[in-house]
Structure 1
Amino acid sequence: MQLARLPERLIRRVLPRSFQGRSLLIVLMPLLITQIVALQLFYGNYLSVVSRRLADSVVADLALIRDSVEHQPAAKDWLINQARWRMQLNITFHPGRKFTPRDASFVLGPMDEDLTSAVRRVFDAPCHIDWNATRQSVRLEIPFGDGVLDVIVPRKRLDVGPIWLFVAWEVGSAILLFIVAGLFVGRQVRAVRRLAKAAENFGLGRDDGPIQPQGALEIRKAALAFNRMQARVNRFVTQRTAVLAGVSHDLRTPLTRLRLTLAMMPVEGAVEAQELRPDIDDMVADIAEMERLIGSYLSFARGEGEEEPVPTDLLSMLHDVAAATTRAGGEVLAIHAEQSLVAPVRPDAMRRVLINLAENARRHGGRMTFSLRQTGRMIEITIDDDGPGIAQSRRKDVFRAFSSTSGPEGGSGLGLTIARDIMAAHGGSVMLRNSPLGGLRVMLKLPR
């Protein structure tokens, strides 16, 4: 099974990963195949046939002059002049010269081979071809009788033309078409990248508004669908926040009346007051707990709300949260930061996350440390406490809404759930680890 998938893996490694690269490859491969087929047809068929016919024509003319001279020796000079005038062949016979065979230097490929083969077939003798005799002619030496036949042939009778011109036209047209295809594909890819960037920003809570549909019809439809989805999500969040704000107000009003009624309730007699006071205090505590739960649920449902991300100094925010935690009774041992880091976040939402985590550390431990650092393209914010911590098997469960947390005070609520949702809205994450202080380490990761 693995051997069968080996070619597929090799192809995946070779193929480009980007949409633009693969689109250009789809255009380039048929273009190259077409050019290769055209070159093969030209060199393998047309050029070979034309070269063979030209060589046969020149050798046939030479054979005709040879046969005519053998039958009419007295008309030798007249026949040679006629060949020079009519056939453009400058023929000179060198009697007594010895033909010295030399290694053939095939300069023009099939033309050399076709001319040599034609001479051997007609004259039954070797020959020597000098393609560099002059710029406009080719010298051909053939053993004839007791001497050597020296023939100057015009190059145009043997050469089909500048081959490089055809090759340059093929390569130039391929490059031009590839550049034009690259420009068109680049426009389509830019539209896809804009859509991907808008979707990523919207997922990070950075609402840049509707995007302008551009590119091909399918990409425009995708952009319009994204704009409609974005509008529906924003409308849903706004309506949910407004409804929950109204519910919170409606619930807090009767709770406030109950708290006021309990505070003003007349108690007659010392014995009755002694007996009712614990019940009244319990009811007041229950009302306070209900108000806290309503506030937590409203914060959870509202999430980041309509707040827009802005560049925020995270180190300054950590100092503010540490000061608030100290005023609430916690002890911040240190704030570790190599430098001040700025990131686009929703300040109120991020401050809510840090305050919730610091409050958990204060309630379950009391002492804590903050740290801030940058790792690659991410920013890490770490909160360590000296509390009892959370068991490894329960760390996933504590992110569920109203899940009980460990510690002597126990408790239930939405603190970690709110932190996880707000961090996810920023494109980040929340992780729980063991703290060097002996308690729990909460690690927040944000994109820079």
Structure 2
Amino acid sequence: MVPATLFARSMLIMMTPVVLAQAIATFVFYDRHWDTMTNRLANSVAGEIALVIEQMSRDGDEKAREETLSMAARHTDILFTWTAGEVLDDPPARLYSGLEETLGQALDDRVRRPWRINSNVAHKWIEIRVQMPDGVLSVLSPERRLYSFTSYLFIIWMLGSSLVLFSIATLFMRNQIRPIRRLAVAADAFGKGRDISDFRPEGALEVRQAAHAFLLMRDRIRRQIAQRTEMLAGVSHDLRTPLTRMKLQLAMMPDMAEVEEIKADVAEMQVMIDGYLSFARGDGEEEERQVDLSLLLAEIAGNARREGARLTLDPMVTQGDAVILPLRLLSLRRCLTNLIGNAARYGRHVWLSLERRGNFVEILIDDDGPGIPEDQREAVFRPFHRLEPSRNQKTGGVGLGLTIARDIARRHGGDILLRDSPQKGLRAVVRLPL
């Protein structure tokens, strides 16, 4: 039942005490002020009616009664009419408003004669008919003599002030929430490897502290990546020099079985060094650009076919709506090429398709190979992990292909998942956010 967003929760925390205070004030007003005022006004009108009735009982003739009624009308703002010989109608089954009940109670206490109340006689007027021994006294009283209109003013001011305060609080709260949202957007963009150079700490002190901590964390991560890249690049450079000398020396040696074995070892070391350097370098230096994913898949599929892979591209990839995303083109091409190369190496046929799922787009790479056991599908993404136990480069590489591919996908804010394929092999799912 509690709202999920910080803005909604903050507004709830601010408005709940205001609503409770207004509810209590309204209850106190109606229970004390309005009820008290209505009782006083009703008793005042009933007392004036009782005074007129008593004076009429003392008047000796019709002329004196008329003077009494005229004087009462002039000084009380109430119209009195006397009808001789008339009898009141039967009483209603019940009174329909709180005002009628209050006025009726006052008439019982002050007048003590049969009475009838008609609140529909005219707009903003109330008729009170009192039975006299020889006729009926009709009294027309304006509503202002019986009803306190301050209740409406109170409600209008209360609701109006609440709306104004709520609007002001909403504007201020939005300004306070905006830096938090910008921080969340910047953190998400940094997790996807995008540029956040325009992000600046702003807002309340605590939000600024969180933003400064985020920027420090970003700088530490960048330094760590740079140090890793520089270290492995230096190691690779240092190893390339002796490897080059060994290649030159081996080239000048006569062809012998031992020499060929050493050449194979040197070539294997060269491949391993290139793999380590590629893993360390990642894709941090490449900038994003708007890329049509459908055209990219068609291009990668064509390259794979030229290299001898049997690959089927889903026609909907090129015939459907264009999917344009901010991507690191070279890195994503390398990721998909690695996955398609693995599928072609272990299967006879490869199927490539594209699907939209909610806020993500999924690139599906299926093969009909032996697949990967379910309990090993996460382990194969660890660096240097190989299902094939030997270290033969022809049967499994150095164990960095899937690691590099997942690292590229995660730098785009996505991931790579391995599942069972409907083609009886393995399905690699490259998930990218839209």
Please report how far the alpha carbon of residue 377 of structure 1 lies from its aligned counterpart in structure 2 after TM superposition.
3.0
1:390 to 350, 372, 382: 372
Output aligned runs, 1:7-406, within 5 Å: 12=1, 15-71=2-58, 73=60, 76=65, 78-103=67-92, 109-135=97-123, 137-161=125-149, 163-265=151-253, 267=254, 277-326=256-305, 328=307, 330-340=308-318, 341-365=323-347, 367-406=349-388
Question: Aligned letter for 2:399?
Answer: G
Q: Are residues 386 and 118 of structure 1, via their aligned partners in 2, closer, same or farther at CA, if it must alter by over 3 Å?
A: closer
Q: Structure 2 vs 1, CA of residues 285 and 189 (structure 1 numbering), >3 Å: closer, same or farther?
A: same
Query: Is there any run of 5+ residues in structure 1 with no aligned partner, and where?
Result: 1-11, 268-272
Equivalent residue number for residue 441 of structure 1: 427
CA deviations over 1:211-254 (Å, ceiling 9, x no partner): 13333332233223222322332233233323322221111111
More deviation, 189-198/249-258: 189-198
What are the Cα deviations for residues 43-97 of structure 1, in whole angstroms up to 9, with x where unaligned? 2211111111111122222223333444564765554444333333433332211
Amino acid at match of 1:433: R
Equivalent position amino acid for 1:414 in 2: L
Change in 2 beyond 3 A, CA 1:104/1:28: farther
The root-mean-square deviation of aligned C-alpha atoms, in Å, is: 2.8
SS of the equivalent of 1:306 reads coil
Asked if structure 2 preserves the Cα contact closer than 8 Å seen for 1:304 and 1:422, the reply is yes
Please state whether the residue corresponding to 1:413 is helix, strand or coil: coil
Which whole-Å CA distance do the structure 2 matches of 1:137 and 1:316 have between them?
81
Deviation (angstroms), 1:434: 3.6
Aligned AA (2:297): L
Letter aligned with residue 268 of structure 2: E
The Cα offsets for residues 23-58 of structure 1, whole Å up to 9 and x where unpaired, read as 333333333323322222222211111111111122
Out of 378, 396, 407, the position equivalent to 1:421 is 407
Larger deviation: 245-254 or 66-75? Answer: 66-75
CA 295–126 in structure 1, closer or farther in 2 if over 3 Å, else same: farther
Q: CA deviation at 1:119?
A: 0.9
- Residue 326 of structure 1, CA deviation: 4.8
- Whether contact under 8 Å (2:275, 2:398) holds in the other structure is no
CA contact (8 A) 1:365 1:385 kept: yes
Question: Which amino acid in the other structure matches residue 100 of structure 1?
Answer: D
Q: Distance in 2 between matches of 1:42 and 1:244?
A: 78
Deviation, 1:288, is 1.4
- For the 8 Å contact 1:104–1:129, the answer to whether it is kept is no
The count of aligned residue pairs is 424
Deviation at 1:411, TM superposition (A): 4.8
Q: Which runs of 4+ in 1 moved over 6 A?
A: none
Contact 1:127 1:141 (C-alpha < 8 Å) held by counterparts? yes
* Structure 2 residues not aligned, in runs of 5+: none
Partner-residue secondary structure (3-state), 2:232: helix
Per the normalisation by structure 1, the TM-score is: 0.84
Q: Deviations for 1:286-318, whole angstroms, at most 9, x for unmatched residues?
A: 121112111111222222222122122334433
SS of the equivalent of 2:311 reads strand
Q: Distance in 1 between matches of 2:69 and 2:359?
A: 87
Give the percent of matched residue pairs that are identical in Structure 1 and Structure 2: 40
